[in-house]
Amino acid sequence: MQPHQLSSGDVIADRRADYARMLEEGGEPEAAAELMEQALELVPAWAAGWYRLAAYLEKAGRGDAAIEAYRKTLAFDPEDIFGATLKLALLGDGATPDRPPSRYVERLFDDYADRFESALVEKLDYNVPQKLAALVASTGRRYECAVDLGCGTGLLGPEIRGGVGRLEGFDLSQNMLAKAAEKRVYDSLAQADLSLAPDLSGLFAEAARHRADLVTAADVLMYLGNLESVFAIVGDLAASGADIAFSVEDAGEGDGFHLAPSLRYAHSESYVRMLLARHGLEILKIAKSVIRKDGRKPVSGILFLTRKPA
């Protein structure tokens, strides 16, 4: 998040907001909300301030007031870099969006890049790269060209590098891509939005399509609800006979997806199977396991290994 988005531009308002944060961290969300309201009287068009107020009101159990504050956030931040539409959906004020705002996801990971690996791997026991790489290795194939969609800081890259000739990575966050570049395992890295079908924002020339014999997406599809765009992209990238390996958070029974309180999406196995069948992809293996922790609770996931028919 940029400094101008964090700051109200008013010294007194910022000071009150800082005190409000301290109160919330001390377990007093109601008092924090009152102080945040005082700050917003000074800077009523401060989107970040309205989002913080909404969060405090939500923690204080004042759902209706939180909804109104999230609406204010959205009014002053039409690009929705804070994800207010997701919060409103969880509070029952509007339908669950098919995907989060791209600017929200980009800002989230740009801000998270420096501490991403230590938080995810060391604190949350994240293990998708190793498990997904093991699925890929089980094919016994060597791949000429692998494309890692939503590569993030490049955690999957070192796990599959030995089995591929050329490795390309794509991610929405430039800061995450910079971290991936430090690993020096990718032959190319570029910014792309997976919610845009079918050609990753036009990055692929016609002659370069259908060239990947391995496409991976480790722990990225939970930042999309409707996965149609992703499978359109995969179909655009994958050569005949290509393998496609990816993970989702497990939504359990049912035939769709839902938005979790973590603001990530969970997908049911039946929903993914339906999309795979629609896009003509053959399932080779499915593995269910705990993929990370969230609030000290295990998060269940599903790993898929599929193939595009030759």
Q: In the chain, what are the domain boundaries? A: 3-95, 115-307
Determine the residue type at 10: D
Q: What is the pLDDT of residue 3?
A: 34
Helices (H), the chain: 3-6, 11-25, 29-42, 47-59, 63-76, 84-90, 102-112, 116-117, 128-137, 157-160, 174-182, 228-237, 269-278
What separation in angstroms does the CA of 214 have from each of 62, 168, 197, 219, 305?
A: 48, 10, 19, 16, 10
CATH class of 115-307: alpha beta
Q: What is the pLDDT of residue 197?
A: 58
Q: What is the pLDDT of residue 204?
A: 53
Output DSSP code: residue 254.
Answer: S
State if pTM tops 0.75: yes
pLDDT in tens, 47-95: 999 999 999 999 999 999 999 999 999 999 999 999 999 999 999 998 9
Q: What is the pLDDT of residue 195?
A: 75
Positions of the chain with pLDDT under 70: 1-5, 120-123, 196-208
3-state secondary structure of 126: coil
Which of 274, 212, 280 lies closest to 248 in space, CA to CA?
Answer: 274
Q: What is the pLDDT of residue 233?
A: 85
Q: What is the pLDDT of residue 235?
A: 86
Of the chain, the end-to-end C-alpha distance in Å amounts to: 45
Residues whose CB falls within 8 Å of the CB of residue 158, separated by 6 or more in sequence, listed in order? 183, 185
What separation in angstroms does the CA of 229 have from each of 119, 130, 196, 199, 232?
A: 29, 26, 6, 9, 5
Q: What is the pLDDT of residue 122?
A: 65
CATH code given to domain 3-95? 1.25.40.10
Cβ(59)–Cβ(95) under 8 Å? no
- Burial letters 105-139, b for 16+ CB under 10 A, else e: bbbbbbebbeebeeebeeebebbbbebbbebbeeb
